Amino acid sequence: MLTGMQIAVLGGDARQLEIIRKLTELDAKLSLIGFEQLDHAFTGAAKEKMDELDFAAQDALILPVPGTSIEGQVETIFSSEKVILTKEMVEKTPSHCMIYSGISNAYLTGIAEQAKRQLVLLFERDDVAIYNSIPTVEGTIMMAIQHTDFTIHGSNVAVLGLGRVGVSVARSFHALGSKVRVGARKSEHLARIAEMALTPFHLDNLGSMVGDIDICINTIPHPVVTASIISKMPSHTLIIDLASKPGGTDFRYAEKRGIKALLAPGLPGIVAPKTAGQILANVLAQLIGDEYTERKGI
């Protein structure tokens, strides 16, 4: 239980509602900033304005998945209030106050460092990335169905990268009956791909592996699907690029060649915001609970 904890939830989308639900269930006291247009009330959570928040009383600040903009602005889809988090605000918090965010940028990292507060990035955690790969795969399957006129079953699929998303994508398309080949650069990844009963290939040989592919799913945040690679693909190939913006595909060249290439960021929040929120809520509850126990010496 988080009885006695005071936590401020600063902005966010539908995923934040699952976090609010979970933390209030655990008896934390919440201040909700940027939620005044939300039609729902949570027992134990009070909607407040940013300039009314008592920063000195907060044990934790929870930011939305993107953190802040480079100007410090926090995304608030349930509010028209402009919420900006400043170094001065963070400095007012008690020294044990933790800041939780999905990702960070130079601004957010900078104000946390200057105020000497610990910034915890949930999306850097393996557990969050692996759980998130589940809705990411479902979104990828949805896109493959929507943008092709052939079945996934029996199609030739190339997956690029064998990280947390690549493993889940490759395994799921294989389970749906695709003939999956996976490109990686590490010998242990190539061995794992073979162990998964998929076809491994080194990324250096990508050009010779795309001549007959129906779907190319990129998970590598690096320019790998270059114009030269795209020029070797059949014209009906669908490229789904899951890597973080700007993706790893030469979209300009794909368009020029008439190959459909889609950058598909943020699929968990789009196809399964409730599950995506629950993933974050469960991990946050665990982290905040551990921190609380440690601080109280329980």
Residues in contact with ligand NAP by CB under 6 A are 129, 132, 136, 161-166, 184-186, 203, 219-222, 242-244, 264-268
Closest CA to 284 of 123, 164, 165, 130: 123
DSSP per-residue string spanning 147-204: T-SS-STT-EEEEE--SHHHHHHHHHHHHTT-EEEEEESSHHHHHHHHHTTSEEEEGG
Residue 182 C-beta: closest distance to ligand NAP, Å: 9
Q: Are 262 and 239 in contact (CB under 8 A)?
A: yes
Residue 290 C-beta: closest distance to ligand NAP, Å: 23
* Rounded Cα–Cα distance for residues 204 and 146 (Å): 31
Closer Cβ to ligand NAP, 71 or 126, answer by number = 126
CB neighbours of 41 closer than 8 A, spacing ≥ 6? none
Closer Cβ to ligand NAP, 92 or 192, answer by number = 192
Closer Cβ to ligand NAP, 106 or 298, answer by number = 106
Closer Cβ to ligand NAP, 44 or 221, answer by number = 221
Residue 240 C-beta: closest distance to ligand NAP, Å: 9
226 by DSSP, 3-state: which? Answer: coil
* Rounded Cα–Cα distance for residues 102 and 78 (Å): 19
Cis before residue 64, ω within 30 degrees of 0? no
Q: Are 224 and 247 in contact (CB under 8 A)?
A: no
Residue 129 C-beta: closest distance to ligand NAP, Å: 4
* Rounded Cα–Cα distance for residues 119 and 103 (Å): 10
Residue 264 C-beta: closest distance to ligand NAP, Å: 5
Cβ-closest residue to ligand NAP? 163
Residue 203 C-beta: closest distance to ligand NAP, Å: 5
Residue 204 C-beta: closest distance to ligand NAP, Å: 10
* Rounded Cα–Cα distance for residues 14 and 187 (Å): 40
Closer Cβ to ligand NAP, 245 or 296, answer by number = 245
Closer Cβ to ligand NAP, 211 or 265, answer by number = 265
Q: Where are the beta strands (DSSP E) in the chain?
A: 6-10, 29-33, 45-48, 60-62, 73-74, 83-84, 98-101, 118-121, 156-160, 179-184, 199-202, 215-218, 238-241, 260-263
Closer Cβ to ligand NAP, 53 or 264, answer by number = 264
Residue 46 C-beta: closest distance to ligand NAP, Å: 33
Closer Cβ to ligand NAP, 61 or 271, answer by number = 271
* Rounded Cα–Cα distance for residues 130 and 134 (Å): 7
Amino acid letter for position 287? L
